[in-house]
Structure formats: C-alpha cells, structure tokens
Amino acid sequence: MTRYETIQSLGDNFIKLMGKGLVPTHILDWKVYYEAYIREAEILTLHRGKRNKTRAACNVAENYKISERSMFNVIAFMEGC
C-alpha cells in the first residue's frame, strides 16, 4: 500500500489528523499535486497512446508554479511505502 493509498483510506480522518497537528499541512498540498499528476498522466495517455510520466510531472509543476524537482519528490513520496 502506497502512502497515497493510505491517505485516501483515511478519508475525512485525514483532515482531522491535520487539525490536531499529527499530519503536516503540506501533505495536503502534496496530495493535490499528486492527484493532478495522476489526471494529467491519464490525459496524456489518451492523447498520445502511451503514458508519459515525465511530461505529466512537468505540466503539473508548471501549473502549480513549483519546481520540477519538487514535483518528482512529491511523486516519489506518494508512491513510496
């Protein structure tokens, strides 16, 4: 189970844990970035016929005005165990 799947399984409790200070608030930002990355990767797959993770990550980084390196760090964190 990846970290993203764990966060998803928490549901509304994730927000409660953030409110109590048990989960850092930047994790919510990372969740939003990662979900945008997943959507962008799916769109690129539909248009190009193959999944281009690098292009998807770069597009999301540009849209949210974060560095590409930060986006790759978010992806690595969310896909980690």
pTM: 0.92
Residue-wise pLDDT for 46-58, tens only, equals: 988 877 899 999 9
Q: What whole-number distance in Å separates Cα of residue 19 and Cα of residue 75?
A: 24
Question: Residue 77: CB partners within 8 Å, gap ≥ 6?
Answer: 3, 30
3-state DSSP: the chain helix, strand, coil percent, rounded to 5? 80, 0, 20
Residue-wise pLDDT for 23-36, tens only, equals: 999 999 999 999 99
Domain ranges of the chain: 3-79
In three-state secondary structure terms, 57 is helix
